[in-house]
Homo-oligomer: A and B are copies of this chain.
Amino acid sequence: MKSGVGHTGSTEGAAGTAGAGGAAGAAQPADVAEPARKPGRVSAHEVSRAIRDDIIRGVHAPGARLAEEALSARYGVSRVPVREALRTLEAEGFVRSRPYAGVAVAELDDAEAEDLLEIRARLEPLGAGRAAARRTPEQLGRLKELLLLADDALAADRLGELARLNSRFHEVLAQASGSQTLTQLVTQLSWKIAWVYAVELPRRADDSWREHAEIVAALEAGDPDRAAKVVAKHIAQAQKAYRRRPSGAADASGGAAGSAESET
């Protein structure tokens, strides 16, 4: 008998590692320096999460070269877990690598950003439809909780946290679909969207969360068609907002230096 490894589903939804949130605020790019994460024992998964967060926050600018040694110093681990993390990020499309030439942060031009939104527009309604049929009460509860947290954040005008809550909302929504593949796809997609939106998203925050509430209502009602439709509208609004953005701001200017709090 092979005793085949449990794996009871759960596409790993962010284990609550305290995310070096300390350096919020300033968030100057590029200048690597402080270890930022010295606690003795970190896993490769966490390193990938840390690097991903930093990419999304603009700490590592698009096109920037990521030397393994520098990363290993920054995150306080050896090169081995760093390399593993880079492979993960490569598969996710955050970095590109060439043999013996190292890895660099991917560059997202406007066309890519548009594509991301277009892809999302086609996938999320699908997931929402599934979610309306399959969501568990617990998932519904988490979504509602996120709505409340967002209300607070809105009231306090903490936009950085809002961005995180937004990603999280769409992540949970994807999980509620009950499809492993769909969840993974949409989750990775939501990370990338957060990246692209790093600058723009806060502006639309208010409307966005009103729409989120509608989504939850549709899920609660268990109406797949309505859920899909509401999500589609939501995405379309987001697309419109992105296209209306002031300047071509797809790069890593300081925007939304959100705290990296990782409460799940």
Shortest CB distance A77–B (Å): 14
7 A-B pairs closest in CB distance: A91-B91, A122-B122, A5-B104, A115-B179, A87-B87, A84-B87, A4-B98
- 25 cross-chain CB contacts under 8 A: A1-B96, A2-B30, A2-B65, A3-B96, A4-B64, A4-B90, A4-B99, A5-B98, A5-B102, A7-B104, A45-B99, A48-B87, A83-B84, A88-B90, A88-B91, A91-B92, A93-B180, A93-B181, A106-B180, A111-B178, A115-B182, A116-B181, A119-B126, A119-B185, A122-B122
Tell me the bound Cα distance from A80 to B68 in angstroms: 15
Distance in angstroms from A108 CB to nearest chain B CB is 8
- Picked from B4, B5, B64, B184, the residue with its CB within 8 Å of the CB of A93 is B184
So how many copies of this chain end up in the complex? 2
CB closest residue in chain B, given A83: B84
Q: Is A253 part of the binding interface, using a Cβ–Cβ cutoff of 8 Å?
A: no
Contact of B96 with A7 in the complex, beta carbons under 8 Å: yes
Can you add 9 more A-B contacts, CB < 8 Å, to A1-B96, A111-B178, A111-B179? A4-B90, A5-B101, A7-B104, A44-B87, A85-B87, A87-B91, A119-B126, A122-B123, A185-B185
Nearest chain-B residue to A43 (Cβ)? B99
B180 touches A112 (CB 8 A): yes
Bound together, the chains give a CA A130 to CA B119 distance in angstroms of: 12
A137 contacts partner chain B, Cβ-Cβ < 8 Å: no
Q: Is the CB of A97 within 8 A of B179?
A: no
